[in-house]
Structure 1
């Protein structure tokens, strides 16, 4: 058995802990499956309140579902670690409200592990995923453990990985992983890393979500990104204070998650552009009503699926926003037509998106005031629940003009995950 991990020898150095506490970093930790020892390491020497805002261990499936606000596709995966980090980051923002925000480096860290278990089945994988979410950065590291170690040994490794992610962010030296993690033939263990960064205007879209709970229109923002291979162009707007003339001239908007963009999206965009004679701007809201915001690794993947169409004449660009509701989108894109599918059309007045109460008359009045139109594309197997009042604002594209083949981004993602596993 490859294991000689004495607790005193393989603890995080106390001087490194204090260097973390001396940094401006404020964190919320969310850890499950292993590595929770890092919470004690950060707190047991004193001054822990200088760094730790909150720490949670959602260990059961029910606790994890509650923490994320949804059931994850897998409980131990890179994607779930990123989701945990994003929820932790939003929690950190909430807890740091009222402070001098510029003085704090607010961070969320999520870790999900599958470590050695008693009487585990043969061939069960041992994995560690650690993610970090900051204002303008998402990162995740992955380690697949292959050597025969004790549970205690694997816990130490997970703890060190979590600490090193935090240490790197704070600009202090990382600690050496115990037990020679590496790529020796008998282990083939390797740490893989992904990091994506964005500019300040994009990062601000996540910050504003917290501050806009009671006044949803005061802190709406847009960051515009060109897809034609040129340098990214970004602009920010607050409510009616529209500072960028290009944003004011947008007339055709295609909201969606585009995770990924697929051929039906392209068909819809092309046809809409031909009908109205203006280019399409794809809109992705980083914030959502019923699930965590989009992290920057996921965002870049979605933008990559759109970039291949950047030079097409029907494409005007991409707008990133923090406006999940069409009420808010109407405020950001007045005098515009929104491209939507049948399923989105059916959800326009779903009460769960409006805090459980929906005032249809007020919504329609807002659309009318903002001169909003909808171009609605039908979808196979989706029955459209047509409210006669909304037809005033809609043009429904006949199935003869557009044939939906039933493909969805969810199905594409599922097949991609299956291919990774194989």
Structure 2
């Protein structure tokens, strides 16, 4: 790749962490071999084994080489870049994370094995991914070069540097089907800032909390005009990942709204306790699954937060009732869920001080583990009132991936 393009990237106000697995790692050498690499590269990691990938992501991915895994890698890289760039010396710099996962030609590989490259980028208000399936017969070295070039182009585009024309190395046109497929999602500044506001406050033992409201009347709008949040007007909250929202979620929301006479506000925390934050492509997919119900009577709105724990949600939504399932209820009053850092009396005290109640729905094959001090905070909806058909978001995602 042209040296002048490398130096143009180094002159851009961009600081990045690269995470690469399966191929394309030579891009690291290209960025460093000519000098001035520290102007761009904060860190580079190559979690090549499955154990290394699991540790890097903090979880075992559904697939090691996929668009989704590339986005997870980019998000972890972005969070690492934020952590490395907090010093004043990086003021004014643009922070990004890039994740790349590849499945390239291997010795004695099975017949029909797909060769694919997925490169994702995570910035403060943008998630993007470029995917390429290689169908022509090439050497491993040739495929490695293509992977490195695709990673370079994703970085170059963000730095407003000319991309390298891939038409000389991939086969397109009549009878050829090698094509770079791209997806990008952008969010407003208040939503992007939710991923950055992770400073530990002196008053609390957890992150500074924030919230952004979704404007359901405008499909592309991620916050309402004026001051975001207004939690004092929200009385009924349904927290969840909604990946995607499905039949059981909606039945729970309808019944809760009828019982309490309040509209339901769905809450999604972009940050998680034990998983990478939600990227903006995944976020928009989840929002789409909720937006289709925007005109129904039970719908109050959608709130995005950086509050993964219910203790934190209680601070954002005081004087509210939370809609939860039996499995969440069991974790909620289990000290292990909080890593042993709090005890049950402290949890109960916090919820009582914030005037929080819980509307708990039975789930199939889930037994309640009820602490004797808990019932006064809860109303349990029996299976006689609510029919759980066993539908799960995980099963829906698996079916969609197999289509």
Do the structures match in fold with TM over 0.5? yes
The answer for unaligned runs of 5 or more in structure 1 is 1-11, 238-242
Pairing of 1:259-408 with structure 2 (within 5 A):
259-408=243-392
Equivalent runs, 1:22-421 vs 2, <5 Å: 22-99=11-88, 103-177=92-166, 179-209=168-198, 211-212=199-200, 215=204, 219-229=208-218, 232=221, 234=223, 246-419=230-403
Q: For the structure 1 residues 117 and 361, does the alpha-carbon distance in structure 2 shift closer, same or farther, using more than 3 Å as the test?
A: same
Cα deviation 1:127-149 (Å, max 9, x = unaligned): 00000000000000100000111
Contact persistence 2:197–2:207 (CA under 8 A): no
Q: 1:98 deviation in Å? A: 2.5
Correspondence for 1:4: none
Find the residue that maps to 2:347 and give its secondary structure: helix
Query: What residue number does 1:6 align with?
Result: none
Moved more, 223-232 or 190-199: 223-232
- Give deviations 1:60-117, integer Å, cap 9, x for gaps: 0000001000000100000000000000000000111123665011000000000011
**Alpha carbons of structure 1 residues 71 and 217: separation in structure 2 relative to 1, 3 Å:** closer
The TM-score, its normalising length taken from structure 2, stands at 0.96
1:298-322 deviation line (CA, Å, top 9, x unaligned):
0000000001100111101100000
TM-score calculated relative to the size of structure 1: 0.92
Give me the whole-angstrom Cα distance separating, in 2, the residues matched to 1:72 and 1:306.
25
- Give the Cα separation in 2 of the matches to 1:354 and 1:316: 30
**Structure 1 counterpart SS, 2:88:** coil
What's the CA shift for 1:186? 4.4
Shift of 1:373: 0.3
| Aligned counterpart, 2:4 | 15
Secondary structure of 2:348's counterpart equals helix
* Aligned partner of residue 17 in structure 1, secondary structure: helix
- Do 2:239 and 2:267's aligned partners in 1 also have CA atoms closer than 8 Å? yes
- For residues 110 and 66 of structure 1, the distance between their equivalents in structure 2, rounded to whole angstroms, comes to 15
Q: Residue 163 of structure 2: SS of its match in structure 1?
A: coil
Contact 1:378 1:397 in 2 (8 A): yes
Q: Deviations over 1:371-415 (max 9, x none)?
A: 000000000111111112111100001111111101011111111
1:175 partner SS: coil
Distance (Å, rounded) in 1 between the aligned partners of 2:4 and 2:169: 22
Query: Where has structure 1 moved over 6 Å in runs of 4 or more?
Result: none
Distance 1:52 1:392 in 2: 54
Q: Distance in 2 between matches of 1:65 and 1:305?
A: 29
- Post-superposition Cα deviations, 1:156-195, rounded to whole Å, max 9, x if no partner, equal 0000000000000011110122644242344311110000
Taking a change above 3 Å as real, the CA distance of residues 365 and 101 of structure 1, as seen in their structure-2 partners, is farther
Q: Residues 413 and 130 (structure 1 numbering): CA distance in 2 closer, same or farther, change over 3 Å?
A: same
Q: In structure 1, what is the Cα distance between the partners aligned to 2:88 and 2:159?
A: 20
The answer to whether the 8 Å contact 1:27/1:51 transfers is yes
